[in-house]
């Protein structure tokens, strides 16, 4: 069985064609700068990489280009659309409408459209991607797989905000959490690696990338997570502020003459590591600048490490202990100084890391950086959100 996974971002579209018998990737690629000048498709298959520079005014065109590449006589891997047995679409916001992966139907698309104001950047792009795929493959079954599903096991006292309960009921204002497919995948991989059942473990998973979130996974279930109603909450990120006193929004809007939407755009796009450092949102640039003595880059990194550390401590408290901490995603897998900052001075929970192992380069495999005598395991596990989406699509069908 071959499953195509489509992950539509606001200006990008990532895809993977996965053979579910082996769970191997047959082809994968990315469309970048959709709707912006200089868009291109990078397609990887049969050990080769092809870059196609072509205008992509919207996600419709991007999907058409991807399907062309997959069936192309030279760089393609399938002879026709009929070779694709199912399509799994990553969906960001579910509200309380979808608590689990859901079949793509006219009805579910209409409900997704109603949820667009919850994820104005991601949901509309995902819907266009879904419609374009349906037009090209009208008979192929498809699923929406949500970033939020894994977190629906949170208890009410963890997902509720302390606002008027009537407004929670009226508008579903609550913590949803995101990156669920990643937190689920790495927590299950950690259990496998440790030779235990997920039910036996208390794990804190740190998905640290351009967007970052930290999750408490108790007995295989998400019981709390750092992102909230939207991905703006939690630790500071590449360009997002993370947790902030909401009164700042009004104060900033007044001082800078901004609308609420503009102030939120500032907190989503101009804050975080980029805002504090004035250097970049990219951790490679930040660590390079800090090494050269840039104080604001160092401050941004210190703030990031400190904030993540507080979440780890909070979740250890929430679960009455922690057996394992997992680092994943771009920063979690590749930035030793961040892992060290988070794990330093954690002897109060019996945690230490092996500083030498922590410095070793990412080789794409699971790495155990647990320190000698540490009671808490510390693992680096490459995430694979696409594989989870493919697995959940197959399970649903």
Active site residues: 147
Q: How distant, in Å, are the alpha carbons of 108, 175, 183, 389 from that of 172?
A: 18, 9, 23, 25
| Interaction between residue 211 and ligand ADP (CB under 6 A) | yes
| Interaction between residue 282 and ligand ADP (CB under 6 A) | yes
Q: Which of 205, 215, 334, 370 binds ligand ADP (CB under 6 A)?
A: 334
| Interaction between residue 308 and ligand ADP (CB under 6 A) | no
| Interaction between residue 209 and ligand ADP (CB under 6 A) | yes
| Interaction between residue 331 and ligand ADP (CB under 6 A) | yes
| Interaction between residue 338 and ligand ADP (CB under 6 A) | no
SS3 37: coil
Q: How far is the CB of 374 from ligand ADP (least distance, A)?
A: 25
Give the orientation angle of helix 336-343 with respect to helix 295-318, to 10 degrees.
50
Q: How far is the CB of 184 from ligand ADP (least distance, A)?
A: 16
Q: How far is the CB of 210 from ligand ADP (least distance, A)?
A: 3
Which residues, other chains included, contact 286 with Cβ-Cβ below 8 Å and sequence gap of 6+?
273, 277, 279, 280, 297, 300, 301
In this complex, which beta carbon is closest to ligand ADP, that of residue 99 or of residue 269? 269
In this complex, which beta carbon is closest to ligand ADP, that of residue 12 or of residue 188? 12
Stretch touching ligand ADP by CB under 6 A, among 35-43, 47-55, 162-170, 278-286:
278-286
Among the listed residues 394, 390, 397, 395, the one whose alpha carbon sits nearest the alpha carbon of residue 89:
390
Distance CA 118, CA 28 (A): 29
Q: Which of 335, 358, 370, 374 binds ligand ADP (CB under 6 A)?
A: 335
Stretch touching ligand ADP by CB under 6 A, among 144-152, 305-313, 323-331, 350-358:
323-331
Sign of CA dihedral 220, 226, 227, 228: positive
| Interaction between residue 305 and ligand ADP (CB under 6 A) | no
Residue with the CB atom nearest ligand ADP in the bound state:
330
Q: Do 367 and 379 contact (CB within 8 A), yes or no?
A: yes
| Interaction between residue 95 and ligand ADP (CB under 6 A) | no
Q: Which of 11, 172, 188, 210 binds ligand ADP (CB under 6 A)?
A: 210
In this complex, which beta carbon is closest to ligand ADP, that of residue 149 or of residue 335? 335
Among the listed residues 185, 191, 196, 177, the one whose alpha carbon sits nearest the alpha carbon of residue 315:
177
Sign of CA dihedral 393, 199, 203, 148: positive
Burial class (CB in 10 A: 0-12, 13-18, 19+), 136: middle
Distance CA 255, CA 277 (A): 22
**Sites of contact with ligand ADP (CB under 6 A):** 209-211, 238, 282-284, 329-331, 334-335
């Amino acid at each position: 069985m071959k499953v195509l996974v489509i992950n539509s971002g606001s200006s990008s579209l990532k895809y993977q064609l996965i053979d579910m018998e082996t769970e191997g990737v047959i082809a994968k690629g990315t469309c970048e700068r959709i709707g912006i000048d200089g868009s291109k498709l990078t397609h990887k298959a049969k050990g080769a990489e092809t870059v196609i520079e072509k205008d992509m005014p919207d996600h419709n065109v991007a999907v058409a280009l991807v399907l062309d590449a997959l069936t192309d006589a030279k760089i393609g891997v399938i002879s026709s659309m009929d070779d694709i047995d199912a399509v799994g679409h990553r969906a960001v916001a579910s509200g309380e409408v979808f608590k689990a992966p859901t079949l793509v139907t006219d009805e579910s698309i209409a409900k997704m459209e109603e949820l667009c104001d919850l994820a104005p950047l991601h949901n509309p792009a995902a819907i266009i991607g879904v419609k374009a795929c349906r037009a090209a493959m009208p008979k192929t079954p498809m699923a929406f797989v949500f970033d939020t599903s894994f977190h629906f096991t949170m208890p009410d006292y963890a997902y509720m905000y302390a606002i008027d309960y009537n407004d929670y009921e009226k508008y579903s204002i609550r913590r949803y959490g995101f990156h669920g497919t990643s937190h689920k995948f790495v927590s299950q991989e950690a259990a496998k690696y440790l030779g235990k059942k997920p039910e036996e473990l208390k794990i804190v998973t740190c998905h640290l990338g351009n967007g970052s979130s930290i999750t408490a996974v108790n007995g295989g279930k998400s019981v709390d997570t750092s992102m909230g109603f939207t991905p703006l909450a939690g630790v500071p990120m590449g360009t997002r502020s993370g947790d902030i006193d909401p009164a700042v929004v009004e104060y900033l809007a007044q001082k800078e003459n901004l609308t609420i939407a503009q102030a939120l755009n500032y907190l989503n796009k101009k804050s975080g590591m980029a805002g504090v450092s004035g250097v970049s949102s990219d951790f490679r640039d930040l660590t390079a600048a800090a090494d050269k003595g840039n104080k604001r880059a160092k401050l941004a990194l210190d703030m990031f490490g400190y904030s993540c550390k507080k979440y780890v401590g909070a979740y250890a408290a929430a679960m009455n202990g922690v057996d394992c901490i997992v680092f994943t995603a771009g920063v979690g897998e590749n930035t030793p100084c961040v892992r060290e900052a988070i794990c330093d001075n954690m002897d109060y929970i019996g945690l230490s890391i092996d500083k030498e192992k922590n410095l070793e380069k990412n080789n794409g495999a699971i790495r155990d950086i647990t320190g000698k005598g540490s009671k808490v395991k510390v693992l680096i596990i490459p995430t694979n959100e696409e594989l989870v989406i493919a697995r959940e699509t197959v399970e649903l069908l």
